[in-house]
Amino acid sequence: MSSITWFHDLAVIGEMPVQQAVAKLQELGEVEEAAALSSVHQGRSPKFGASGLFEPKPWQHTAHAFGYVAPGPPGSQAATIQHAGNMAADISLKNNRIKITLDRLRVAAYPGKGPHRVLFDFYAQNQVPGTIEHLHFNSCYRVLEGQEAGITGYPIFIGLNVGSDGVAFRCFTVNVQNDNDEALLASMESDVFKSGLRLCATLQPAIAPLSAMAVALTRNIAVRHRNVPVQDFYMGLDFTDVRFRARLAVGSYVAVQIPDSLVRVWDWRDWVYDPVNGQIVDKDDAMRLIPFNYVVFSVSAYEE
């Protein structure tokens, strides 16, 4: 993937050098966090949060845990969550078409005060005969701190072509607090954007310029005053039995933004999907939610 199709040069706040992170926090009104970061890390650590001498925030983390929830009938029984590489791939999706929707966006904590406007850039590879289309689709959601966006089944890619090797999917989020940009992003709440990116089984010449415009918009907004990238994750979903890879199947995928220190001990068996309230909760305490930012997107077979 070239730098043209992704944002390799745009660091999320958890990856920023200390001075840059301090300046960004000051822009966002996080005065206490900026002061603590500056005093603790001055001349000692090149990255934000590396020393662990103060309580890290959910937006500080850069690692992700990836889970999978299998489809099931209605009912009240909690559904288990598996690691996205510890389930069987659905071979019927190979060389077929799928639909991808955004079903949950939880903001445990994002930098800045008050309600958040979160800009999403969704990337996927559309494998049409003879070539690969690099797709970008932008959408924007309003979320209160500690809550979820009011969305479910939000269409992102409709009719995405899956190759014999699977699909590549990526998300990049920007917390937008610049007043001028908020006015611009209000247009993304129109019905045109809410219908998702509809694809064909063959090459579409209009896709490339549309994706380029989406990339330019995300890149421009991400570097503006009082805006900051927060999450960046990539999932390659394929059909192999390689244990370290994620597999493609109909169902829901959960991407949780966690500390690097938790990657080795994160256990999806501690969490379940409660179909009664549609939440991911502690297996032993249904009132306890995952204390981190997370995204849920779902894959289903495409029907003409």
Closest among 192, 110, 178 to 148, alpha carbons compared: 110
pLDDT in tens, 1-25: 444 567 888 999 999 998 899 999 9
> Exposed (0-12), middle (13-18) or buried (19+): which is 13, by Cβ within 10 Å?
buried
Residue 125 has, within 13 A of its CA and on its CB side, a CA count of 19
Between strands 251-258 and 246-247, the pairing is unpaired
pLDDT in tens, 39-87: 766 654 445 444 444 578 899 999 999 999 999 998 889 999 999 999 9
Q: What is the pTM of this model?
A: 0.89
Non-local CB neighbours of 103 within 8 Å, separated by 6+ positions: 151, 152, 153, 154, 252, 296, 297, 298
Per-residue pLDDT of the chain (304 residues; tens, 9 = 90+): 444 567 888 999 999 998 899 999 999 988 888 888 887 666 544 454 444 445 788 999 999 999 999 999 988 899 999 999 999 999 999 999 999 999 999 999 999 877 899 999 999 999 888 888 899 999 999 999 999 999 999 999 999 999 999 999 999 999 998 877 876 777 666 555 667 788 876 667 778 888 888 899 999 999 999 999 999 999 999 999 998 999 999 999 999 999 988 988 999 999 999 999 999 999 999 999 999 999 999 999 998 7
Residue burial 249-279, b: 16+ Cβ < 10 Å; e: rest: bebbbbbbbbbeeeeeebebeebbbbeeeeb
CA 200 to chain centre: 25
pLDDT in tens, 91-103: 999 999 999 999 9
Structure tokens at 181: 């940009």
CA 166 to chain centre: 19
Structure tokens at 299: 């894959």
